[in-house]
Amino acid sequence: MSEPNFFKTPDPVTLGEIASWAGAEILRGDPSLEIAGVAPLEDAGAGMLVFFDNTIYLKQLEGTTAAACLVGKRHKDKVPEGVAVLVCADAYRSWALVLARLYPEAMQPRDPGVAGVSERAIVDPGAVIEDNVTVEPGAVVGAGVEIGAGTVIRANAVIGRGVRIGRDCVVGSNCTVQHSVLGNRVFLHPGVSCGQDGFGYAMGPQGHLKVPQVGRVIIQDDVEVGANTSIDRGANRDTIIGEGTKIDNQVQIGHNVVVGRHCVLVSQVGLSGSCTLEDFVAIGGQTGVRGHVTIGMGAQVAAVSVVSDDLPAGGRYGGTPAKPVKQWFREVAAVRKLAERGGGS
């Protein structure tokens, strides 16, 4: 069985073109050198472009036979002889820019040859769909839905009654979107559940009485949501995801949560109801945030932490409960010393 190649091999380009796309300076190498594609450090051969940004992979860099390497200034002298050197301010960012030019289909929401509303989709006649929208087979679009131009609704996605979706969005296969308003260029990966009930019950000895959830989910422009993430609608106000925020796979966002602009939430983060993340907050994987707390602008929280109280802006935090990282490291070191002493008694 032959191995499929899901992305077209790019046409050859010159090192000079690569430098222009990457905003890089050619420190070593011929601008007319032909680049045929990209590859990992350890697999790259003649004509291949690589990048280096982490000393963990220094051994692979030392042994690479690539044609050229994108690298930051601090690592430029580590590139072996015979490999052209492109120096840039941020190697990973420049790498992303180059990949987008070499593999544009990996950035585009619409598969080649797919356009329009499939005859095997179910679209309510009351839905308003602008030009150049793609609705794939098996998708369901409910009454009163509005979908903007250039948006793609993948196979078997369900768009509930009255949902608004902006332009140039992607709603992945098997997503469910209800009680939600999406801005432009929103990307929901497969299996996202958006706008379902929040987890609200008036608990008591007579049983747990369900509290109706009457808010919405508002997702602003340029948000990307990873596969199988859940975003609950608000209870009595809206759940809001600010513009430019990037959310990984399998994240849980509870009702009434407000996530600011350009935040980053890594896989398996859990945000309890009514917590607030100000702009540019970054939270590592498997971290839990208690309800009704606020994490200040630009704060960073390490993976596998528990945020149980408000965290000031701009700090770095970690641990259970989360605290400034320097304090956390001191506590970990102190516990280790105690354990070592106890083990030797």
- What letter does residue 257 receive in the DSSP assignment? -
Rounded to whole angstroms, the Cα distance separating 83 from 80 reads: 6
**Do 183 and 221 contact (CB within 8 A), yes or no?**
yes
Rounded to whole angstroms, the Cα distance separating 45 from 88 reads: 22
Residues ≥6 apart with Cβ < 8 Å to 97: 21, 22, 23
Rounded to whole angstroms, the Cα distance separating 265 from 319 reads: 17
How many beta carbons lie within 10 A of that of residue 101, not counting itself? 15
Q: Which of 75, 179, 189, 255 is catalytic?
A: 255
Q: How many residues does the chain have?
A: 345
Q: Which of 321, 320, 322, 250 is nearest to 281 (CA)?
A: 322
Apex 199 CA angle, 197 and 203, nearest 5: 130
Rounded to whole angstroms, the Cα distance separating 325 from 288 reads: 17
**Do 266 and 245 contact (CB within 8 A), yes or no?**
no
179 is catalytic: no
Greatest extent of the chain over all pairs of C-alpha atoms, in Å? 79
Active site residues: 255
